[in-house]
Amino acid sequence: MVAPIQVLGADGSTGPAFHLRGSDVSYVLRVTDHGHVEHVHFGAVLADLTELADLQPLLRQHPAQNEGVNSPDDPSYWLDRQTLEWSGYGRGDYRLPPIEVRRHDGGLVTDFRFQSFALRDGTVACADGLPTAIGDAENASTLILTLVDADLMLELYYTVFVEANVIAKRVVLTNTAAQAVRIPRLMSQQVDLIDRGYEVITLNGAWIAEAHPHRSPVAPGITLNSSTTGFSSNRHNPGVLLVAPDTGENHGEAYGFNLVYSGNHVTAIELTQRGLLRVQSGINPVGFEWTLHAGERFETPQAVLSFSAQGLNGLSANFHRFVEGHIVRGPWARRARPVLLNNWEATNFTFTHRKLVKMARQAKSLGVELFVLDDGWFAGRSDDHAGLGDYSVDTDKLPRGLSGLSADVRALGLDFGLWVEPESVNPDSELYRAHPDWVLRTAEREPLLGRHQLILDLTRPEVRDYVVGQVGTVLDAADVSYVKWDANRTFADIASPTCPAGEVLHRYQLGLYEVLRRIFEPRPHILLESCASGGNRFDLGMLCFSPQIWASDCTDPIERLTIQGGLSYFYPPSTMGAHVTASPSEQTLRATPLSTRFNVAAFGVLGYELDPEELSASERTEIRSQIAFYKQHRELCQFGALLRADQVQPDRVTLTRLNAAGESALVGAFQTRAIAAQPPEQLEIPRLDPAARYRVTAVPHTLEIRGFGRLINRLSPVPIRDGGVVQSVVNRHYRMPAVVQEYRGSGAALSRLRLIPQFDGTGADANTRILGDFGSTLYLIEKLDSAPAITGGGDER
Ligand code: DGJ
């Protein structure tokens, strides 16, 4: 095996150079003869360091008049023109510095120079409890560079995750001086690339509209992707992509950056007039200032970087492998996730033991495996004004407590899951009345409320102990096997008696990670799904504790295509909770077919969030077969490789899941808007074995009679008035089966499969697909031993 980290010049003959090699990615850095760490290469894999013809200073040239400064004995050495892995302030690099230091004497200048390096097998965990990616000597290797500037020591950690093609970077700063220094800025990583007209893609959003991708050219100056809400946020996910202008889903160069952190973050991209592109990521300096006392060290969160020359799908494949292999851990890593029913959208806060058990019984009959009780189970919680912070059960709703409910649910053959929101407290709660000082607040102001609640001060050990104790007791008493951990307000009044204000948010994150570790490490059987008003904290930090995250409170499948699609650039579908809910959507009022709601949720971890009692008999039958299908193909749905198709038409979305052996695939073809006078449609089924034979079948589903309006009279023996009673009765009991579609052909032929036509205003027969607005089809592709040349159509049954 080729060493994942190659070192050149370790004997001191030259400044050493380091080659971190993934299966398809190389990352090269070197120490200049002035001791700065220079970035040399991040891109296609190199067999050997010697492939880089010139490891000499890359960008040396004499500074233009008045433009820069250099060292008197080496006029061509000019920091502002170097591609650097680390930099400082006040020594001639005028780009954004990755570090700012305020020394006890007021000094601001920093200039870190290389001192030594070390190699380690596997990964090196953070000492202070920040989560980091995991790996062992088989799949990961770590380089540690030690740099020194006067009485500060800086260690740059680089871990290469070979198969995932990910380089993880973080830094540790140690104060070796006798006095404290203040650190208002300390990035996790910096890399200087040479610009090639790159464009930046960020995931922006809001509540119920998370992770909308936006792509724009990198503008000269500084572009920031930042969160200041205290969460990694639904506004700007920490994941950032840099792509060549012609990069699409399946071709072109793509760089990706993300952070293993759940709090305020920033990625800064600085494009200079001379075509250098600096990318930094780390804790957002807004509101941050850390005092590093003599002898103390500060560890940054881990930043992760990847590259692919195979377009965005190639890059996502790297990140997905990374998340599933090195971020998600414990017994739930790569383990099949249960199909759940959650009561939230069905009941909100209003339920009884009887109602819940009835829902659970019906859910069981549909094939559901896990029943989840959401918000509203504790005393005072008849709406969102009261009760958070207290863990006593509302005995009016649940006279036999959670244990009684859990026992009844389990007796049905279902697992029992529970919602908790342990980071917040309502002022109207026993906890707050007893400990008004346990919340984040300044001394001089009344704290602001968000969803009628305040944030518990997790920087305080006694608050952490309370949360760990209370939540643990509840989980054990009710035999809980799944937890939905919610957090529903953003941060304000950031202050605590435990530490200076600039440290509160980071110490809060450390406190949160400690609490999660203490609650869930001793209970590895519990599947944790984190949530923050939906996807307000969808990040690699939370994924180190919760294998899945509730992607959004928006369950409208059309909006979900954008949300799940956006998240999928960085996070695999196995991390995304995705539920089928009632139609019209409670968030958008859009009415969508049941099949489309399932087809979108099947591209994530499937759940239902509706009242089974309200379903018609025909809907029940449909859901039963949806769940049966999902269970049968669960491995493909949860862990199959995801491929997004380039969106050639704005109203079409096509997604594919492939199994590892290339023997089966699922393709979801979604029509977000019907158009008249359809052109012939071709389904692109990527990456099949060109020579092998496959069968493609549309997963059976049914169509609502109501959707045909008065047109149904062309088929019906009795007149059916649109909106009338007959239509409503028929609609509840009968659904029209969608046309049967089966196609066969070689992988090569199926890469462009011509589908039978859609209904186009006239006629409809056994060869006509009927989709309409928001219609969709799931195609199952299975490898055959042998098959005839391509045939197809709706008449093949
Ligand atoms: C916000 C979550 O995202 C919802 O799914 C639900 O759990 C509510 N909170 C409950 O208050």
Beta strands 641-644 and 652-658 are antiparallel
CA 534 vs CA 100, 384, 766: distances in Å: 35, 16, 41
What is the best residue among 207, 344, 420 to mutate for testing ligand 1's pocket, by most ligand atoms within 8 Å of CB? Answer: 344
485 lines ligand 1 (CB under 6 A): no
Segment 451-500, tens digit of pLDDT: 999 999 999 999 999 999 999 999 999 999 999 999 999 999 999 999 99
Q: How far is the CA of 481 from the centre of ligand 1 (A)?
A: 19
* Residue 637 burial (CB count, 10 A): 25
pLDDT for the residue numbered 769: 95
User: 24, 80, 192, 553: which one is catalytic?
Assistant: 553
408 lines ligand 1 (CB under 6 A): no
pLDDT for the residue numbered 53: 57
Structure-block tokens of residue 272? 């200079």
Q: Is 408 part of the annotated catalytic residue set?
A: no
pLDDT for the residue numbered 789: 52
pLDDT for the residue numbered 273: 92
Segment 400-453, tens digit of pLDDT: 999 999 999 999 999 999 999 999 999 999 999 999 999 999 999 999 999 999
Asked if 161 and 132 count as a contact pair (C-beta separation under 8 A), the reply is: no
User: 111, 192, 457, 486: which one is catalytic?
Assistant: 486
pLDDT for the residue numbered 169: 98
What is the best residue among 381, 483, 550, 555 to mutate for testing ligand 1's pocket, by most ligand atoms within 8 Å of CB? Answer: 550
Query: Which residues in 437-494 belong to E strands, given as ranges?
Result: 454-455, 482-485
421 lines ligand 1 (CB under 6 A): no
Complete DSSP assignment for 267-333: EEEEE-TTSEEEEEEEE--TT--EEE-TT-EEEPPEEEEEEESBHHHHHHHHHHHHIIIIIS-STTT
In angstroms, the CA 125 to CA 170 distance is 11
Segments of the chain with pLDDT less than 50: 57, 787, 794-797
pLDDT for the residue numbered 69: 83
Structure-block tokens of residue 62? 């004499």
Residue 429: φ, ψ to 5°: -155, 155
What is the best residue among 340, 341, 375, 483 to mutate for testing ligand 1's pocket, by most ligand atoms within 8 Å of CB? Answer: 375
CA 27 vs CA 5, 49, 669: distances in Å: 10, 10, 38
**388 closest CA partner among 448, 450, 340, 481:** 450
What DSSP element (H or E) covers 507?
Answer: helix 501-520
341 lines ligand 1 (CB under 6 A): no
pLDDT for the residue numbered 572: 98
Which residue's alpha carbon is nearest to atom 10 within ligand 1? 375
CA 523 vs CA 465, 483, 496: distances in Å: 17, 11, 31
pLDDT for the residue numbered 662: 86
Tell me which residue has tokens 């008045």.
66
Sign of CA dihedral 124, 127, 132, 134: positive
CA 338 vs CA 224, 526, 574, 629: distances in Å: 39, 12, 11, 13
Asked if 179 and 104 count as a contact pair (C-beta separation under 8 A), the reply is: yes
375 lines ligand 1 (CB under 6 A): yes
80 lines ligand 1 (CB under 6 A): no
* Residue 351 burial (CB count, 10 A): 21
210 lines ligand 1 (CB under 6 A): no
**Residue 550 CA: which ligand 1 atom is closest?**
3
* Chain centroid to CA 777: 25
pLDDT for the residue numbered 797: 28
486 lines ligand 1 (CB under 6 A): yes
pLDDT for the residue numbered 795: 38
In angstroms, the CA 283 to CA 541 distance is 13
Strand partners, 336: none
pLDDT for the residue numbered 787: 46
Q: How far is the CA of 487 from the centre of ligand 1 (A)?
A: 8
In angstroms, the CA 428 to CA 385 distance is 7
SS (H, E, C) 343-412: CHHHHCCCCCHHHHHHHHHHHHHHCCCEEEECCCCECCCCCCCECCCCCCECCCCCCCHHHHHHHHHHHC
* Residue 690 burial (CB count, 10 A): 11
What three-state secondary structure class fits 202?
strand
State the amino acid at position 612 in one-letter form: P
Q: Is 33 part of the annotated catalytic residue set?
A: no
Tell me which residue has tokens 């003599």.
294
In angstroms, the CA 452 to CA 469 distance is 24
Asked if 738 and 769 count as a contact pair (C-beta separation under 8 A), the reply is: yes
Residue 187: φ, ψ to 5°: -80, 155
Torsion of CA 528, 534, 540, 542, to 10 degrees: -40
374 lines ligand 1 (CB under 6 A): yes
Distant-in-sequence contacts of 212-216, Cβ < 8 A, 24+ apart: 212/562, 212/563, 212/566, 213/562, 213/565, 213/566, 213/569, 215/243
Sign of CA dihedral 520, 523, 528, 532: negative
CA 31 vs CA 121, 137, 387, 441, 616: distances in Å: 22, 25, 58, 46, 69
What DSSP element (H or E) covers 749?
Answer: helix 747-750
Asked if 794 and 710 count as a contact pair (C-beta separation under 8 A), the reply is: no
